[in-house]
Structure 1
Amino acid sequence: MLVKQIPFVLAGAVISFLSVSSHKGVVRFTGFKDVVNLIIGVNILATILIITTFLSRKYNFNNVFDIPGSIIYIHLLLNFFFLIGAKFFIKSVYRSIVSDVKIKSNVLIYGAGDSGTITYDALNNDAKNNIEVFGFIDDNERKIGKKINLLNVYSPKNITKEFIDKHGIDEIIIAIQNIDSNRLLQITSEFFALNLKVKIVPAVQNWIDGDLSIGQIKDVRIEDLLGREPINIDNPVLFDEYNDKVILVTGAAGSIGSELVRKLTNFNYKKLILIDNAESALYDLQQELSQNNKEAKITPIIADVRNHIRCENIFDTYKPDIIFHAAAYKHVPLMEQNPYEAVSVNVRGTYNMVNLSIKYGVNKFILISTDKAVNPTNVMGATKRIAEILIGCQRNIKNLKTKFIITRFGNVLGSNGSVIPLFKKQIESGGPLTVTHKDIIRYFMTIPEASLLVLEAAAMGLGHEIFVFDMGEPVKIYDLALNMIALSGLKFPEDIDIKIVGLRPGEKIYEELLVDGENTKPTYNDKIMIAKCKLIDNTSEVQSKIKELCLLNSNTQNIAIVSKIKDIVKEYSPNNSTYEVLNHN
């Protein structure tokens, strides 16, 4: 009888496990979902056997198939325990075979919620990671003292130097979704002080196909510790704005310009003209776009915005609809020493582009400005303020087709000459990190964030607005230096020291985003505000002074150039500079 029933049981088993695709599971990655799948499979098998037995008895086929219900349920339980046990046994054997002989790294997972348990599963399923999860950390008192996967949940207060030394903890993995960056800064600072490495689990929307892999768990980056939320924009209006347009970007090979170009390549523009006088940098950008198959309809041009004839030839050839004017000299100390060059690019270059935009009927002109143009204390900031004033002077032109727009924001992370690359180089060379003043603070934004906001502001601009971006909370440069040392796995001051070198010529302790007399009004994007600007008195006189400034030659004394700059920008007050004598005139 038993022999006759075995084929029926085997057939039922094949049907049940094929229906849940149990055979497709990779045994070494067995997890909770696989267990659920097996439970469903053995229950389907039990149901098939019960139904078959019922039909057999009802139609008197007892001699062919008749299994007592108690036997079916015993069979169900044995199936379940055997199959689950076999899978986990094979998984365990595989891990022991392929596991690296290196000493395992003990980690604690910060966050005992869903993201924490998923992180645990991802680590546990990777046999080659040499990571041993010691336990969880959570600040929810209802979870503290409980167990998850037989691992303890600890309070952050328990994670002391003694605790770490006793249990050999090497690193912390932060598995909290949508963590506030201020809280992240607080958590990482505490663990850095204990000489622990800190990693972070990415946001769930960045998981590959909805699953977390160990390769996605990354070291905490300096961008994560800015005390601000990342900015993401997905606005369909932008496609209407940039599709089928001829777009020209000056300074296209620079930090902001090149990122603007990368973002613009996502639109279906008619033509994208890239202008820069830096041959190598423009070539590198061209090669990057070519490798990413984005070079179609892109024309890189070596040209200088100071050369009016050359620029007019470009305007006449391509008839641009939209211009992003990012070309500028921006290094504060260098421009203090070379005011003529600051004027020639930041003022005369802008003057050329503005006049050509009006002459050739450009639809929109977007000036990329800076917070250093607000109540400037240095030549660079003052020349950028003149560029803003020049834009403001166009307000009085009747029947003006071109919509002039200014975007103003603070420092961008990783841009050429910014503090982050400088600190990285100083750390690589063994330090010290140089900070000009212990109390100096700056606003920071990533280059992609800044570029997205520029594109958004340009789309919403109706003409003659200054768009100011929400830069989050200002960051103390000294604290930034401490965090970068810790992120590099080094100690302050034992491994890397910090040296206070004094304010550079023209440098401020803090930056501002609004000129005196300006305030802001909101837009539909809470990350972008419009500065209510002061109207410029006697625009013809101001334009005349700007034209005179542009006509100065390279033989003019620096003090004379700066004196003319100060005559245009009344709020310009040279600081910590040889030009301070002008403050008393």
Structure 2
Amino acid sequence: MNMQNLKNRIYSGDNMVSLSDVRYLPRWVVLAIDVMILMTAVSGSFYLLEKLHVHSSEAVPNYTKYLLILVVNTIYMYIFKTYSGIIRHSTFIDLFKIMLANVLTGITLGILNIITFVITGNKLFLPTFLFIYFTISVTLLFMFRLFVKEFFHFARELRRTSLKKRILVLGIDEQAIAVARALLDNPSLPYHVAGFLTQRTDSKSAKLLGRPIYNRKKLESNTKDKLDADGILIIEEMMTKEEMNHWVNLFLEKDLEVFKSPPVQKLRDDIRSSIKNLQIEDLLNRKPIKIENEEVKRRHYDKAVLVTGGAGSIGSEIVRQVAIFNPSLIVVLDQAETPLYEVELEMREKYPHIRFKFVLADISNRHRIEPLFKKYRFSMVYHAAAYKHVPLVEENPHEGILVNTFGTKNIAALSSLYKVNRFVMVSTDKAVNPTNVMGASKRAAELLVQALQDVEGNTTKFITTRFGNVLGSNGSVIPHFKKQIEKGGPITITHPEIVRFFMTIPEACELVLQAGTMGSGGEIFVFDMGEPVKILDLARRMIKLSGLEPDVDIKIIYTGLRPGEKLFEELLSDGAKTLPTPHEKIMISKDPHMEFCDIETLVNRITKAALRRDKLEVVTLLKIIVPEFKSNNSVYETLDK
């Protein structure tokens, strides 16, 4: 903005003018200021000589000398255009031009001094005067430019800092200091490092990078305003999940935002995108299972692999992990067209060297599926295709049976018929003491798969994996809560006491792959899911991590348990025993078995009922197959009487 526009804004009533709006002063204004500085330098020089009792010749009046100095110096300043640069962006070249103009002024005045002395016998100026004038004028011109430059820098930083989030960096070790220094070296970032936070108590008076160090007691005994901080930055991989949860609970109590940063070695060039808000997943994650990569690789390298439900959350991650081991072929099967296409685009881009086949098909259609087994002769089958949403399957039990039970029968029977080496089924904790059709249909599938293991002539190893809710999966609670928070609420929870187990998608798939190498056939592998999480606590923490206040900014309302939903999920049935495995987090559940002829007869009957869309008969037969299935909050409760 030039001065005219600035004047127009002021006179129009817009008096909110930012320093960043003032682009530059007109050149004549800069020259006028410089001349005023020269006048000050001349006056100061005469004053100093007078105080030192040094008197020059009075043959020439002082005002003539005064005017002569200003004219000569101004001419040289004009010649070298010392006023043409933008002052707040002054460089060494600008300072050099000032020096040159003043040196030549001194030389010119010295020559005039000599000429005057030769002609009249009197000196215009004493050498002492010229030296003092040169020193004062150059110093003042330098200081003027330095002051303007620093003033604008300070104002700009002050403005930036006021718009930035003031954060405390958790930790005082080398990693924390390195990340803090990276933030300080990038003034364009929206974060201002206000200090450091540590568990130690011996750093009260010490400072790091010029910033204070606070200990935990200081944080506990002060409010957010007294600390003058908006948030905390946590360096990932520097603490256990237990320690992180311990700290985060305190931060959320103090209404502080929580940010996370990778270690400085992993900071990308774009630091802005490397620093993110801490997510609830970061607090729920545990140390993942360590896969025996050599064994897993041996089972997949140069082998043909089928993944059903390969476009879903679990199935697509299985595809990603299997692709790492360079199989000869991965057939990805799903009946969801758009998700399957998206997975195809991703896989062909990430793994161009792997041979893929993407098949759009329904696993309940055996005539569509069997040609795949006949053509590709799979070595491994990962069966992740299933309907999983409890209320929808409760409303449509016939569809749940056709996919979850009959579809599993198709894939498992074909695996046995075509001598697949290993069949690994993805099950759910909802299959344990089920209270809904979805869980019962998966338990029926478990019984069928286990029974197939003992059929005469079978060589396929049938393995089942059972785990709880998966973080970030399609339709799961955390993405649902995130959307509700983004919309401003409310968050809907079915019951204040409802709890669930959680694990990450990679963890779940590592379990599936590991189980495929560990099992000898007929096992149900269960994963130590840790402590269950109360959904209400989960919602409250998610709201706080978003920088909002539960029940103030985001309301929480209770909608009541949905049909078939229960408060607590289980991983083991009441009569099940567990056996250990080489992995302390993986156990084998010894659940009751059924003979194949018995389960096959019942599955054939329930499939016929499902094809007739006879909901009551479907659920009645399902309760015969799974005696522990007791409906909860459902229209099918009458069948239990």
Question: TM class, shorter-chain normalised?
Answer: 0.7 to 0.9
1:276 corresponds to which residue? 334
2:219 aligned with 1:165: no
CA distance in 2 between counterparts of 1:533 and 1:496 reads 44
2:612 corresponds to which residue? 555
Equivalent position amino acid for 1:549 in 2: I
2:544 corresponds to which residue? 486
1:48 corresponds to which residue? none
Shift, 1:159, TM fit: 2.1
CA distance in 2 between counterparts of 1:248 and 1:413 reads 24
Equivalent position amino acid for 1:256 in 2: I
Do the aligned partners of residues 423 and 105 (structure 1) sit closer, same or farther apart at CA in structure 2, a change above 3 Å counting? closer
Equivalent position amino acid for 1:465 in 2: E
SS in structure 2 at match of 1:552? helix
2:121 aligned with 1:121: no
Shift, 1:574, TM fit: 0.7
Quote the sequence identity (%). 43
Shift, 1:101, TM fit: 4.4
**Is this contact kept in 1: 2:257–2:546, CA < 8 A?**
no
SS in structure 2 at match of 1:236? helix
CA distance in 2 between counterparts of 1:441 and 1:543 reads 35
2:600 corresponds to which residue? 543
RMSD value over aligned CA atoms? Answer: 2.5
Alignment equivalent of 1:193, drawn from 237, 241, 253? 253
2:591 aligned with 1:533: yes
Do the aligned partners of residues 553 and 491 (structure 1) sit closer, same or farther apart at CA in structure 2, a change above 3 Å counting? closer
Shift, 1:449, TM fit: 1.6
Equivalent position amino acid for 2:560 in 1: G
Alignment equivalent of 2:632, drawn from 564, 575, 578? 575
The Cα offsets for residues 172-222 of structure 1, whole Å up to 9 and x where unpaired, read as: 112374423233223223222322211123357x7259x995653332111
Equivalent position amino acid for 2:617 in 1: A
2:283 aligned with 1:225: yes
| More displaced 10-residue stretch of structure 1: 168-177 or 505-514 | 168-177
Do the aligned partners of residues 96 and 289 (structure 1) sit closer, same or farther apart at CA in structure 2, a change above 3 Å counting? farther
SS in structure 2 at match of 1:304? coil
Structure 2 stretches lacking a partner, 5+ long: 1-149
1:108 corresponds to which residue? 168
CA distance in 2 between counterparts of 1:443 and 1:393 reads 28
Shift, 1:563, TM fit: 0.6
2:266 corresponds to which residue? 207
- 1:20-99 matched pairs, under 5 angstroms: none
Equivalent position amino acid for 1:173 in 2: L
1:154 corresponds to which residue? 214
TM-score by length of 1: 0.79
The Cα offsets for residues 229-265 of structure 1, whole Å up to 9 and x where unpaired, read as: 3445462221111001100011111111111111111
Larger C-alpha radius of gyration, 1 or 2? 2
**Is this contact kept in 1: 2:493–2:557, CA < 8 A?**
yes
CA distance in 1 between counterparts of 2:579 and 2:219 reads 46
2:471 corresponds to which residue? 413
Do the aligned partners of residues 443 and 553 (structure 1) sit closer, same or farther apart at CA in structure 2, a change above 3 Å counting? closer
CA distance in 2 between counterparts of 1:276 and 1:227 reads 28
CA distance in 1 between counterparts of 2:594 and 2:612 reads 31
2:487 corresponds to which residue? 429
2:346 corresponds to which residue? 288
CA distance in 2 between counterparts of 1:453 and 1:342 reads 25
CA distance in 1 between counterparts of 2:251 and 2:433 reads 40
The Cα offsets for residues 476-508 of structure 1, whole Å up to 9 and x where unpaired, read as: 100111111122222211211100111111111
SS in structure 2 at match of 1:275? strand
CA distance in 2 between counterparts of 1:266 and 1:419 reads 30
Shift, 1:457, TM fit: 1.4
2:386 aligned with 1:334: no
Do the aligned partners of residues 490 and 552 (structure 1) sit closer, same or farther apart at CA in structure 2, a change above 3 Å counting? same
CA distance in 2 between counterparts of 1:317 and 1:432 reads 52
SS in structure 1 at match of 2:169? strand
**Is this contact kept in 1: 2:609–2:617, CA < 8 A?**
no
Equivalent position amino acid for 1:380 in 2: M
**Is this contact kept in 2: 1:112–1:143, CA < 8 A?**
no
Equivalent position amino acid for 2:169 in 1: I
Structure 1 stretches lacking a partner, 5+ long: 1-91
- 1:132-531 matched pairs, under 5 angstroms: 132-159=192-219, 163-175=223-235, 177-202=237-262, 207=266, 215-226=273-284, 228-231=286-289, 233=291, 235-294=293-352, 296-531=354-589
TM-score by length of 2: 0.72
Do the aligned partners of residues 269 and 549 (structure 1) sit closer, same or farther apart at CA in structure 2, a change above 3 Å counting? same
**Is this contact kept in 2: 1:207–1:213, CA < 8 A?**
no
**Is this contact kept in 1: 2:453–2:460, CA < 8 A?**
no
CA distance in 1 between counterparts of 2:253 and 2:369 reads 55
**Is this contact kept in 1: 2:501–2:529, CA < 8 A?**
yes
**Is this contact kept in 1: 2:447–2:594, CA < 8 A?**
no
CA distance in 2 between counterparts of 1:474 and 1:152 reads 39
Shift, 1:227, TM fit: 6.4
SS in structure 2 at match of 1:576? coil
Equivalent position amino acid for 1:533 in 2: D
CA distance in 2 between counterparts of 1:163 and 1:496 reads 22
**Is this contact kept in 2: 1:100–1:128, CA < 8 A?**
no
**Is this contact kept in 2: 1:95–1:127, CA < 8 A?**
no
Equivalent position amino acid for 1:127 in 2: P
Equivalent position amino acid for 2:626 in 1: V
CA distance in 2 between counterparts of 1:248 and 1:335 reads 25
Do the aligned partners of residues 523 and 342 (structure 1) sit closer, same or farther apart at CA in structure 2, a change above 3 Å counting? same
SS in structure 2 at match of 1:423? helix
1:45 corresponds to which residue? none
CA distance in 2 between counterparts of 1:386 and 1:325 reads 15
Equivalent position amino acid for 1:557 in 2: D
CA distance in 2 between counterparts of 1:313 and 1:460 reads 29
CA distance in 2 between counterparts of 1:289 and 1:143 reads 51
The Cα offsets for residues 38-82 of structure 1, whole Å up to 9 and x where unpaired, read as: xxxxxxxxxxxxxxxxxxxxxxxxxxxxxxxxxxxxxxxxxxxxx
Do the aligned partners of residues 186 and 410 (structure 1) sit closer, same or farther apart at CA in structure 2, a change above 3 Å counting? same
Q: How many pairs does the alignment contain?
A: 490
Do the aligned partners of residues 263 and 177 (structure 1) sit closer, same or farther apart at CA in structure 2, a change above 3 Å counting? closer
